[in-house]
Amino acid sequence: MVPLSLSLQFARFPDAPLHRAALPRHKVARWLRAALGDDVQMAEIAVRVVDAEEGQRLNREFRQKDYATNVLTFDYSGAPVVAADLVLCAPVVAREAAELDKPLADHYAHLLVHGALHAQGWDHETSEADAEAMEARETAILAGLGLANPYARD
């Protein structure tokens, strides 16, 4: 098992207890470890769950996109020691989970895996082939965790 230093942080916002309940530390660690590649020897990951205002501000400042997005990855070093911050915007995650008719925790699992893959250099915005490869990797990881394919269309 890959050693993981995990910091799990929740901003103060009205629905924070609901999101905290969906993200027990042991599950977050399990989901992140599942996403770490074979070349990773150690990981230092901070996960921060924020409100829409903070999510939008960070997305605007760091990606020049003026809206709150579901997950932002700030990667500082790749394998063999992965260091990253993952910022999840709670209202966006909750809305998407409801729209997809899936449990909040399952959607968080997907987004944490997605963010951890970004921290290791995976990128779905560079080409269609890269997007397909990243989706396939996410799907395989989530299947290993007993979760459904997040990209399956009904």
| 103 prior amide bond cis, ω within 30 | no
**Do the annotations mark residue 118 as ligand-binding?**
yes
**Do the annotations mark residue 107 as ligand-binding?**
no
* Composition of the chain by helix, strand, coil, percent to 5: 50, 20, 30
Q: Return the sign of the alpha-carbon dihedral for residues 140, 36, 61, 107.
A: positive
Query: Which residue's entry shows tokens 């999510």?
Result: 55
**Do the annotations mark residue 124 as ligand-binding?**
yes
CA distance linking residue 138 with residue 151, whole number of Å: 9
Annotated binding site for Zn(2+): 114, 118, 124
Annotated binding site: 114, 118, 124
